[in-house]
Structure 1
Amino acid sequence: MKHSLEITYSGKPLHEAQKALILLHGRGGDAQSILSLSEHLHVAEYALLAPQATNHTWYPRSFLAPVTENEPWLSSAVDIVGQTFDKILEAGIKAEQVYFLGFSQGACLTLEFTARHAQRYGGIIAFTGGLIGQNIERTNYRGDFKQTPVFIGTSDPDFHVPVERVYASSNIFREMNAAVTEKVYENRGHTISEDEIELVNRLIFR
C-alpha cells in the first residue's frame, strides 16, 4: 500500500505566508485532529499543512519493527512529507521558515524525514516519538541542521515509545548540529501536555 497526497490546509494561504508548519497526525488520527492543535500554538501567521495517511496510519507495524516490515508504507509516508515540503518551497517560502510537528506515529515520521534531509529548518517538534527501525541505521542520517531548534517530549514510561529510543534519537540530532531540547515527563501517559505546548511556543514559535 502507498499513500496518496491529500493535504488539508489551514492558517494563512501559502501565497501570503512567510512561514509554514507541516503537521503529522498519529496512528488512528487524521489531518483535522492534528490541525486542531494549532489553536494552542503561536502560529497565527503560518500556513498550516496536514497531509492525511491512508487508512489513518503511516505504516502498519510498530516504529521499532524491522524497517522491511513497514514497507512500502514507510517510504511512501516519507515521500508524502517530502511532497508537502516541496509545495511550500514552490510557494516561495524558504526552508529555514518551514516547521515540522508530529504526535506519536507522526512524531516518528517527523524525526525520520528531517534526519534523512537535514538542513536548517525553522523548527522540529516531536511529541512522543523516535527515529524508526528495530535498530537505528545511523548511515541513513547525514547533513547539518545548522542549529535548527528541536523539541522532543515524551513520558517515561510510554507504552509505544521507549524512553531509550527518545534519548538515542536526541543524541543523533545533536550530533547533526541541532539545538535539541528534550523533556521526559514521569508517568504522563501517551498524550501532549500543556507544559509541552508552553515550551514549544517559547522555544520555537517565538
Structure 2
Amino acid sequence: MSLLRSFIFFVRPFVLLAFTLTLASLFAFFFSSSSPRSSPPLPMAARSFVLWLHGLGDSGPANEPIRTFFSSPEFKNTRWSFPSAPHNRVSCNYGAVMPSWFDIYEIPVSTESPKNEKDVLKAVEGVHAMIDKEVAAGINLENIFVCGFSQGGALTLASVLLYPKALGGGAVFSGWVPFNSSIIEQISPEAKKTPILWSHGMADQTVLFGAGQAGPPFLEQAGMTCEFKAYPNLGHSITPEELHSLESFIKKHLKSSS
C-alpha cells in the first residue's frame, strides 16, 4: 500500500465524522434566517407527535431547525422531539467515541455490509419507550410519526417495523435495512399497516444508493407499502425538497381528532 493510500485509509473515517458534524452546522446556518425557533406553548394534549432521529456523530438540537419547514395549519398542535444518541465507540471510526445509536462496522454502508442486530434491537427499545410515553400522554398512535436520517433512518425503520401496533408513518432519509430478512417473522400484522416514506440520494457515497434501493423489496417481502423517492446528484445529505415531501406525507396520513 503506497504512502498516499495509507494516509487516505487512515483519515477517511475522521473525514466522514467531520462531514456529519459539518452537515449539522450547515443546517444551523441554512435555517438561521427562517422563522424563530421559539413558538407559543403547545396545548396539554398535542394532536400529533413527530420523532426525529439524527445521523452518526450528530445531535438532536442541531436538527431542530427542521421543524420550521412544517408551517401548515395541520402542524399547529404537533409536538416534536429531537433526542440525542448516547456516546458510544464506533467500529468504522476506529473505536472513536461519538453520538451513535448503534455500532456501525464499515463505511460506506452497502447491501453487503455486516449487520449489528443486537445493538440495533437495544436502540429500538429506547425509541419504543419514547413512543409509549406519548401514547400514555394521550396521543393517538395513528398520529405518531418516526423519522430519521442516515443511521437515524436505519433505526427509524427498525423501530417502526418492530413496534407491535400501527403508527401514523415512518420516514427514512439516506438510511438502510439494519438487519437480515429473518426479522420479518417478528413484524406484527398491525405494524405492517404503517406506511413508509423512503428518500435517498443517487450520489450518496456514505450510505450507497444500492443500500437504500434494497429497502422497498425488503418491505414488499414483509407485506408492507413503501413510497420510494430517488434524488439524482444528491449525496449524503437532506434537502428542503425532501422535507416538503415529508410534510405532504404526514398531512396525508394524519387522522382527525376524536
Correspondence 1:1-206 to 2 at 5 A? 13=42, 15-42=44-71, 43-55=75-87, 56-62=99-105, 64-67=113-116, 71=118, 73-117=119-163, 119-133=165-179, 135-144=180-189, 145=191, 147-206=193-252
Rounded to whole Å, the distance in 2 between the matches of 1:19 and 1:121 is 11
Distance in 1, Cα, partners of 2:61 & 2:86: 14
Q: Write the distance in 2 (CA, Å) between the matches of 1:28 and 1:112.
A: 19
**CA spacing shift, 1:77–1:23, aligned 2, 3 Å:** same
Q: 2: distance between equivalents of 1:14 and 1:117?
A: 27
Extract unaligned runs of 5+ from structure 1. Answer: 1-9
Using the TM superposition, give the Cα deviation of residue 14 of structure 1 relative to its aligned residue in structure 2, in angstroms. 7.6
Match of 1:5 in 2: none
Distance in 2 (CA, whole Å) between partners of 1:74 and 1:169 is: 17
The whole-number CA distance in structure 2 between the counterparts of 1:148 and 1:47 is 20
Contact 1:156 1:187 survives alignment (8 Å)? yes
Q: Hey, which of these two has a bigger chunk of helix by percent?
A: 2
Q: Which of the pair is proportionally richer in strand?
A: 1
Whole-angstrom distance in 1 between the partners of 2:80 and 2:173: 17
Equivalent position of 1:4 in the other structure? none
Change (3 A) 1:33 1:136: farther
Q: Which structure is larger by alpha-carbon Rg, 1 or 2?
A: 2
TM normalised by structure 2 equals 0.66
Pick 1 or 2: higher relative contact order, CA cutoff 8 A, min separation 6: 1
Deviation (angstroms), 1:44:
3.4
